[in-house]
Structure 1
């Protein structure tokens, strides 16, 4: 089915498309603050055992004498440091230190409040023997993202992109407020997971709307703008966390930031492509007329009627049933695309979060480290945009993930040289950032309209299985120190192989039906489309071939009765 005919009348990126894209990009930073909020909400500050039951948090910095008599030393990475989880059972200063016995903290913990006034960890003492609960809370959040990805994707394909986006925005607001007032950590973890589910829902569903209303020449830029918006949200969170050191206030602020976007019920349009593929031509016509008016395009009624009637007739049979996850696996080519995307998302998200979410543990100010690290993401989005526009999606997504894998592997092999190892780890982080940003744009383009939301949701759900395991990958270092980086490198190489089984989408009209997906990327577009794409063709053509292409285009246009336009076709 071709919705490209309607696109030609409206233009690739008129005022209507720009306005809708702006709405989507403005929503992206809110999701960005949600995605990495756990970095500060669940941060673990320095701590030690409370010496007695009457001690207060103000007594965190014990005098050297008190520290020597109350806290034993531990050998960590060849250095003697005061223990965070043990204390001397006897506090008699006259007793020799070597004769004292140690015990777990019997009176609770004292926390360093210089960086964090309060976190979920400090409020519920999720340290030492309870550290696993903190890691479990992070994993539960990623489980919520998996749940939200697939549910919102199916809902978007069944009920529409617009209502799904608005419901997710409302749930994000209400559940976020609830999480800020929850009293026990189990409830906090569950509500935070549901907040993540709602956030990933409105982010990807709104992105699908933007992708479906613009022409092929601008999909790359719009997708990267949404990705850059999310990266800007990371930076915004760093500044908010610096100003708001209490986790409950930070969580409440993050939730209330969603409230203004409830006005999207009136502002954000439904995808006309989805309406047409679901045989709702009347509503699609209304959206298209609004688009034509905003774009100042003369769009005669007979054109609306003929085009929408044609598309409705083509989709009448398909729209009689609802599509689901299993439709992604019914046809061989779409099944291969789905499998490759799931593998790629699983691997890339695991490595992405594994390499960047530990930035607050580096030496120095955690807020500065986080803000600087996330600022790089915005720059990487611009680099990815330029690269994909020049060379296409596949080379950038696949090539950069292979570079990330190489960086991780070399970092593991040079562990004995910390400066070198750190440098290659940064190379891996930058490369996976480029690949992940590009993947966000690439994924919606390879699935047909009838299952685009479902496909995007399934791929994202698979990625969350990897992110659920990511907090525990660091534990592999107990068996062999380089093993975490080797694991990340291996995942990158697997993802690189999967990417090269996918079709290229640069300058190609999106598939609409399951039938379209079977031929997607395997045949030449219609002659009208060739002329459109040729203006932005990113592949340099040797001079000896340019005249051959002119002859081909001339033949096609002459056959269609439009010889004059062929003379204007650029070489």
Structure 2
């Protein structure tokens, strides 16, 4: 009897804390403080995401001919004789002339006999370049490490390595965040950021560049996912959608800033250092960010959560803020606190159990599969269009700025759609619209890809319970980075055959993703699930299935 009364008292205290948290999360200085503290660090993610198109710019290149270079021939003269594509385009092969003999000839006579339009000499076989020359006045990773022609895949790996870091970081930081807190995950991301950025700038070889980019990717995941979950778990469900969407504007802001910096700092090492050093400031954000109150409650750290909420609540809340709050928070107070005694092996087993829980039940397993696929396809389309500058005849600085600018309205677009149509319908509509325009207008397709990405992220946070939420987001981010790792390979390798292949492929796979979203339940205006039971024992209308294609509210 006494134990039951104690449990009731604890439950009542948790309800009071969550009720006050919901008031705080409904607006006011604290909520906006959290929003900006979470959003600003992610701008660095946008910087490093698209820095690739400036750090690894591919210059016009051609085969180095030692004999002619030592005879003081100009680059244009050498290419007129050796290159099969003339002096204005890149080449990976050159004619197998006797260049030793040609170097002893008068330049004008040699050009007339071997390279002139009226030359009657039969062209010899083409052979692959052993060394390359590049257009002057350009600094690039590609030049330093000869990442052209048969080594193009190594150039793509510079961006793949960033995605690989995000791939592993999303999973590891996701599990770490659920076990040891959102703030610790954020702090480790900051530490890796500060080390990895300068490592790339001062890299003496290709392997160091790849290692540094992997570190940057892992840091991006740690900072982005941890900050996003803190914001989502503090904001009320009334504000969660808008703030979750606006949070993603940090990426396009970074994408708009990087071409401006790159325009004035053309040396790739200087550029990398300039966008890396300011990340030291992110450490200050760690000290200002609070731990997620929901996570503290889940870990039976009720006193810490209570002290935090009481301090903020007493400074912010007005009497009229309390009106009508009980209806909104009544269903968000379910919680099963985990017995965490701090023992190492129990923590390890518990971490593995979180992964098992996601796969144990059909409902969670099915949700995870569809969301994983959606994240992967969103990421593939997003990155492929962002990196596709070399397949378009356009200024890369203008292209980079415009793609970031186009992305900003993509995060505003979902807000009215989410208000009237919910998560499912908005995702489906944007996937299908993106499918159509990707086949015809790449920039508009980028807008849709960005918009649906924001909606899918929000939908994911509302589909999984608190105990598994960050682990689920980590798994989804991991899937997304499979897409982002594929993007540079598709752009650099398949795009070399035809400029339209990357956008066409993206259009096909987005059609698949949009169709799969039909099976997911709608989560608009519904409380965040706190436990696994909240998901697996939910009413049929809130579970996955073909009945979602035509829900009951549309059939009547």
Category of TM-score, reference length = shorter chain: 0.7 to 0.9
User: 2:85 — aligned with what?
Assistant: 73
User: 2:61 — aligned with what?
Assistant: 47
**Contact map agreement 1:16 1:294 (CA 8 A) in 2:** no
User: 1:564 — aligned with what?
Assistant: none
* Unaligned segments of structure 1, at least 5 residues: 75-79, 300-310, 412-422, 525-540, 546-571
Residue 210 (1) aligns with residue 231 (2): yes
Residues 445 and 260 of structure 1, relative CA distance in 2, 3 Å threshold: same
User: 1:250 — aligned with what?
Assistant: 271
**Contact map agreement 1:292 1:298 (CA 8 A) in 2:** no
**Contact map agreement 2:409 2:447 (CA 8 A) in 1:** no
Cα distance in 1 for partners of 2:249, 2:177 equals: 23
Residues 327 and 68 of structure 1, relative CA distance in 2, 3 Å threshold: same
User: 1:418 — aligned with what?
Assistant: none
Cα distance in 1 for partners of 2:502, 2:23 equals: 53
**Contact map agreement 1:215 1:509 (CA 8 A) in 2:** no
CA deviation map 1:291-323 (0-9, x unaligned): 213424589xxxxxxxxxxx9995335657634
* Unaligned segments of structure 2, at least 5 residues: 1-10, 103-109, 321-331, 342-346, 543-552
User: 1:85 — aligned with what?
Assistant: 92
Cα distance in 2 for partners of 1:247, 1:45 equals: 13
The one of 42, 45, 59 aligned to 1:31 = 45
Aligned-partner SS, 2:94: strand
**Contact map agreement 1:44 1:127 (CA 8 A) in 2:** yes
Task: Give the TM-score taking structure 2 as reference length.
Answer: 0.81
Aligned-partner SS, 1:103: strand
Residue 472 (1) aligns with residue 489 (2): yes
- Report the alpha carbon displacement of residue 280 of structure 1 after superposing the two structures with TM: 0.8
Cα distance in 1 for partners of 2:390, 2:496 equals: 21
Task: Give the TM-score taking structure 1 as reference length.
Answer: 0.79
**Contact map agreement 2:153 2:489 (CA 8 A) in 1:** no
User: 2:305 — aligned with what?
Assistant: 284
User: 1:530 — aligned with what?
Assistant: none
CA deviation map 1:455-480 (0-9, x unaligned): 10100101112222223335457899
The one of 392, 403, 416 aligned to 1:386 = 416
Aligned-partner SS, 1:510: coil
Cα distance in 1 for partners of 2:383, 2:25 equals: 38
CA-based RMSD of the aligned residues comes to 3.1
Residues 83 and 232 of structure 1, relative CA distance in 2, 3 Å threshold: closer
User: 1:537 — aligned with what?
Assistant: none
Matches within 5 A, 1:221-232: 221-232=242-253
Residue 377 (1) aligns with residue 402 (2): no
The one of 350, 355, 370 aligned to 1:340 = 370
Cα distance in 2 for partners of 1:45, 1:494 equals: 37
**Contact map agreement 2:42 2:220 (CA 8 A) in 1:** no
Aligned-partner SS, 2:40: helix
Residue 109 (1) aligns with residue 132 (2): yes
Cα distance in 2 for partners of 1:427, 1:113 equals: 35
User: 1:358 — aligned with what?
Assistant: 388
Instruction: Count the aligned residue pairs.
Output: 493
Q: Which moved more, 1:514-523 or 1:164-173?
A: 514-523
**Contact map agreement 1:164 1:202 (CA 8 A) in 2:** yes
The one of 514, 533, 539 aligned to 1:496 = 514
Aligned-partner SS, 2:290: coil
Q: Which moved more, 1:342-351 or 1:487-496?
A: 487-496
Residues 54 and 16 of structure 1, relative CA distance in 2, 3 Å threshold: farther
Cα distance in 1 for partners of 2:447, 2:365 equals: 31
Cα distance in 1 for partners of 2:236, 2:334 equals: 23
Matches within 5 A, 1:130-169: 130-169=151-190
Cα distance in 2 for partners of 1:359, 1:482 equals: 12
Matches within 5 A, 1:534-545: none
